[in-house]
Amino acid sequence: MPIKSSQTLVAEALEKIKTISPDEAHKKFNEKKCNLIDIRDIRELEKQGKVEGANHIPRGMLEFWLDPESAYFKDGKLDLNKEMILFCAGGLRSALAAKTLEDMGFENVSHVDGGFGSLKQSKFKIT
């Protein structure tokens, strides 16, 4: 059986997860109805800037930091009862990450269409 391509995995994830616009994310963020999570690598944040007020959780640690059973669980870092809105640089990694969070049992998960690139063009403040 051939392996699935990353393109196929992203396409499958996009069929199952909720995708929202930067404006929708901004509205929920301002109303304090979500956890806005930047899953980019720390080097990307240092090079390209950050969304002010977003939580940084590197993609490689996402499942571990959000799993209360994990030794790496970051208790109190996020409000687990609020929507998890993920973004990466362009929207591919965040689509996969959103699907993974749904697979873990998180029910209120979405990702931002266009990622950080689109957030920079929106109402979010970039630092």
The model's pLDDT over 16-33, given as tens digits with 9 standing for 90+, comes to 999 999 999 999 999 999
- Is residue 27 in some structural domain? yes
- Is residue 44 in some structural domain? yes
pTM equals: 0.95
Q: Read out DSSP for the chain?
A: -PPPPHHHHHHHHHHHSEEE-HHHHHHHHHTT-EEEEE-S-HHHHHHH--BTTPEE--GGGHHHHH-TTSTT--TTSS-TTSEEEEE-SSSHHHHHHHHHHHHHT--SEEEETTHHHHHHTSS--B-
- Is residue 52 in some structural domain? yes
The model's pLDDT over 30-85, given as tens digits with 9 standing for 90+, comes to 999 999 999 999 999 999 999 999 999 999 999 999 999 999 999 999 999 999 99
Number of domains, the chain: 1
Which CATH number do you get for residue 74? 3.40.250.10
